[in-house]
Every structure is written in structure tokens, then in C-alpha cells.
Amino acid sequence: MLHNLSISALSAFALLLSTPASALLKPTGPGPNACGNLTQTLGKKTVVSSILSIDYIRTITSYFNTEQSKYKPSCIVYPTSAEDVSIAIKAIRASDSRFAIKAGGHNPNDFFSSVDKGVLIDLTELNAKSYDPATELATYGPGGTFGDVYEYFLQWNRTVVGARLAGVGTGLALSGGLSYLSSQYGLACDSFRELEVVLPSGEIVIASETQNPDLFYGLRGGGGNAYGVVTRYTVQSHPAGTFYAGIVVYLFQQNPAVLDAISDFIQYNEDPKAAIIGTYMKLPTPDLNLNLDEAIVMFLVYDGEDDKGAFKNFTDTPHLVNTLGHLDYNGVVNMPIPGSAEVSKGRNTFRVTVQQGTDAGIDTLATLYAKWREWGNNNKGKYLLTSLDIQPVPKSLTDASNANFGGNAMQMPDGPWYWVNYLLTASPLLSDKALKEAQASFKELVEALPPAEGLPLFINDATYDQNPLVTYGGYEKLKTLKAKVDGDGFFSTHTGGWTFP
């Protein structure tokens, strides 16, 4: 177990105080029954039921959306093998208990990786990694973060396509996974070559192009735990040399110039080694007509020693900060500061939209920004942070995706187009009612301009009610797969995740 973690006695005491007295009595029901059976089968080192356990506290307090930490599983299982996961799934089924699968816990949606009064399967201990120089294939478990994965493979000057922040868990890849390398190699799921999977029945299988190809198709971007639990990834690795990368920070007075530069990049950049994220941030501090509550941060990454002019529009625009320089890939994914995924924990909500990279789509980008900024100005006091992240999807990315086994579950149309991620980090001072009202208002903001038809919503950034799977080119195949692997609907009814309306 993870005994090297330091959790203060105050954390344990706070958790104890927040737990209803009835929960401290010996509970009964499907969750406790499953936990009792699993404790007998797997042992107390693998199954933790005490809410005061260091491991229990670490697991339920490590969610990106801290609202998920209010849920109290009956026990937490820390499997060390696919066989342990299989045993857990079978025991959960036999007890008719609710459950959840947690890797990094970065998905902010209720019950996608959290559970109340059920079994939480924490995959942290499944963290083995290996590399085969002959095939250049990399293998890693779902435990840990992509930062752990990148650091391990860097000893061979290799990396894998995964999250753009080191602190994000590996489950991101099952829903696509947009990387700074994606313009060259496709999404994270496009690099999958073989997956070890525990099905909803508890059976352990291999999914690849030749074994269970329909399952392999579904797990490449189709949302992960709708179809089973991946316990090992084998993926194509890629060279990781020197990157020219950094952030450039602007005041909002430069907004028109930066927005024009982003628009030009979306429409006209044809260099697959260049990648950007444009992040507009609004803070809760008073505006005072000085724009002191606003900032623009451009994340710029080039796979090479210089940018070949790809970022000229961004660096020529007057700015406050420019950190561009030479980094290895570990440095790239730790921009702007190491562990930035962890420090951004809060009452976080995502929403997403998608627009074409045409003139009309670029005009829409300006409108999206204006409406988001207006919402931020009108909702002071309701958030600690709100941001708008612009994520280009060039044709080189969609070409690379579709070159792998005929494309992933999105069946990505030709670029260029772009995803926009909306983040709301609500104020901790809001009541539960006020939080729901703020989230509803944020939803209205995003829905005011509908996504472009024929393009997939980015499932990594989607809220549960956006139904991103319906926008996928492979939706009908995914429905068929779901009916095949979860025929009795056990996963559909006993855990969170994307559904098939």
C-alpha cells in the first residue's frame, strides 16, 4: 500500500466529523456485503474499509473535482493484478452493489470515478511499466499519472501520447486524450496496440486489432468503463528529444491580437510538430475597469530545437511573460509549474463545444469568447476561476488518427476544427443550492451557441448531460458493443459513465 504518504491527524479528524454517526456503526447492505466478501477473499491489505485509514483518506481526497470527496465508499479495493479486479467485479455483482473505478480521478462528473455506500476500485497499485526496444512498444498500468509514465520512458528518449499535464491519470486515454504530440501521432487512444481488460462479467480478455477487435474499437475513445476495466496498456511509443516550449502571458488588452493569432493557427498552420493551447482566465478579483481580473496564457510546444516560425504571431504580440526555451518532455508537461494538475483541484465543472476551422467557425470563436467574458463579469463571487481553453484539431491530427486501424470511435472528420473547454471552479463559499444555480447558468452560457454539426464533442471535457457519444461517427458500433459486453446492463445501472440513450 501507499504508506509513504503523509496525511495529518487533522485530516482524519475532519473526515470523522463530516461522517454521519450512522455510518460509524457496522453498516449493512449491498456495499458492505461486497466489502465483507472481498476482505475474506483478497485480505485487509487490499480491501480498506476504515474511513480513518491513510489510504482511504488519500483516495477520496485526491479528486480533481473536490465535490467527489464528499462521497464515502463502503470500502476501497487496491488491486495488484487483473485477477484482483476480476474477483472484485464478481463480488460486486454477487452482492448487487454500486461501484466505481478510479485511476487519477480527474473526471469531474458525479460517480464516474466515485461512489457512495458502494465499492471503489482504486487502480493505483497497477502501475507496472516496461519498454521493448525491438518493437518500440511501451506498456504501462492504469495506476499513477501520465507524469509517472513519461518519466519512466524518458530513459530511452521515448514517450507516449497522453495528457498535457503530468498530474492527470491514464484513464484520460480511454476517452481520446489530446496531447502536445497529437498533431503528429493522433490522440492517445490512437497509439493503443493491445489492452488487457476485465469485462463486466469478470472475464479477463485481450483487446487488439486481432483479438476482440470490436472491444478494441470501443476502448479507443469510447469512454472506458462502459465496456470494462483496462488493467494494462500496450501502446506505440515515440521519440522524445528536445522541445522548444513554454508559456507566453498577455494582459487582456492584447485580446484581439492573440485571438487573431489563435484563429490563424487553427486555419493555416500545417506544421504537425507545432501545438498550442490558448487559455483565457478570469479571476474573482474586482475588475476596476483595469482588466486586472483577466489574463491570457498561451501554451506553445514545438517538437524540435526551434519553432521554425510557427509561433511568430504569438511572440510578436506584446506580452508580460515569455518562458520559451529548451525542455525535455517532462518539462513540457509540467508547465507552468510542476504538479499543476494537482494544485488546480476545486469545485470543478467542465463543459465543451466544437466548431469548424472555417471563416464561419472562426467568427464563432470571437462570439464564444465574448459571451464567456460577459458571463464572468456578471457572476463575480460565484467562482474562484473560470477559463476558456481553445484546442485546435488540425488535419494532420485527424489524418494520423484515421491511419490507425481505420480510426478511433470518434471517426474523426478531417480537420481543421477546434474544441473549446469551459472550466468553472466554483467558490467554496457557495451553498449546494447556489452551486447548482451557478452550474445551471454556466450550462446556459455554453448552450447559447450550439456545437457545429458533424463534429464530435470532446468526451474528456464533457459534462455528463452533454451526451458526447451521440456525436461520434462510431456511435452505432458502440451501442452494439455495449449490448454485447454488458448485456444485462450491470455496469449501466451500478456505476457512472457515459450512457447510450
* Separation CA 33–CA 99 (nearest Å): 13
* Separation CA 311–CA 234 (nearest Å): 34
How many CA atoms within 13 Å lie on the side-chain side of 340?
Answer: 12
* Separation CA 33–CA 27 (nearest Å): 9
Instruction: Tell me which fold the domain 243-474 belongs to.
Output: Vanillyl-alcohol Oxidase; Chain A, domain 3 (3.40.462)
Mean pLDDT throughout 16-22?
Answer: 52
Mean pLDDT throughout 228-246?
Answer: 98
Closest by Cα among 180, 151, 163, 178 to 103: 163
**Which CATH number is 129-240 given?**
3.30.465.10
Contact present, 382 and 283 (Cβ < 8 Å): no
Three-class secondary structure assignment of 11-37: HHHHHHHCCCHHHHCCCCCHHHHHHHH
Three-class secondary structure assignment of 245-290: EEEEEECHHHHHHHHHHHHHHHHHCCCCCEEEEEEEEECCCCCCCC
pLDDT digits (tens, 9 = 90+) for 79-93: 999 999 999 999 999
> pLDDT value at position 9?
44
pTM value is: 0.93
The strand pairing partners of 91, in sequence order, are none
CATH class of 31-122: alpha beta
**Angle at 469 (CA atoms; ends 466, 281), nearest 5 degrees:** 45
pLDDT digits (tens, 9 = 90+) for 351-395: 999 999 999 999 999 999 999 999 999 999 999 999 999 999 999
* Separation CA 263–CA 280 (nearest Å): 14
pLDDT digits (tens, 9 = 90+) for 422-452: 999 999 999 999 999 999 999 999 999 999 9
> pLDDT value at position 27?
74
Contact present, 105 and 68 (Cβ < 8 Å): yes
What is the residue extent of each domain of the chain?
A: 31-122, 129-240, 243-474
What does DSSP assign to residue 471? G
* Separation CA 469–CA 457 (nearest Å): 8
How buried is residue 260: exposed, middle or buried, by Cβ count under 10 Å (0-12/13-18/19+)? middle
**Same topology between domain 31-122 and domain 129-240:** no
Confidence of residue 213 (pLDDT cuts 50, 70, 90): very high
Min mean pLDDT across 26-30, 164-168, 191-195, 400-404 is at: 26-30
Around Cβ 418, how many Cβ atoms within 10 Å? 28
* Separation CA 103–CA 171 (nearest Å): 6
